[in-house]
Amino acid sequence: MWKLLHKLKDAVIYDADREFYAKVFPDSVAPRDLLRLRKMDHADLPRVLTIENENYEFPWSEGIFKDCFRAINYTNWVCEAPDDSIVGYCIISVMAGEAHIMNISVSPRFQRQGAGRKMLEHLIEYARSRAEKIFLEVRPSNPGAIDLYRKTGFREIGVRKNYYPAKQGREDAIMFELDLVPRL
């Protein structure tokens, strides 16, 4: 049922010009602009879990993702390519004027092509009307993500010691913050 509703929504919001120019003039449209985000549903879990397992030594379990569906303050999305294949996913929690990016993950085959940035920008815009600040944690061993967060305006605000599981025990997390309300 959800798939049908998503397809219907996509048909209504479909950008025929962009799709046409992408086919006729392939270099005229960035691949990132052809990606689209939609709410994640339970049928997406097999592909989401595959991406999760491809990217992490200590991946989230299916149960954790199901908990994200049940939590009223969590919103989950998948990022799709024009052929409807899922290339990534993202999860955000919003509560009490604060947003927290819980997870952004891109299939290894689609990394460094703009999907991560597209999802991050989507989460920022989603949170903008719901929160004053947005937070996230990242492994120091993930320089690509750190660079993306800094380029997007996030600033480092601290370190959570021994936050992530790692092969050699635990790894710290760098904490980042982005103000969503313009300062006067």
Active-site residue, from 121, 137, 163, 177:
137
| 62 included as an active-site residue | no
| 137 included as an active-site residue | yes
Residue at token pair 């919001």: 13
Active-site residue, from 89, 149, 164, 171:
149
Just list the catalytic residues: 137, 149
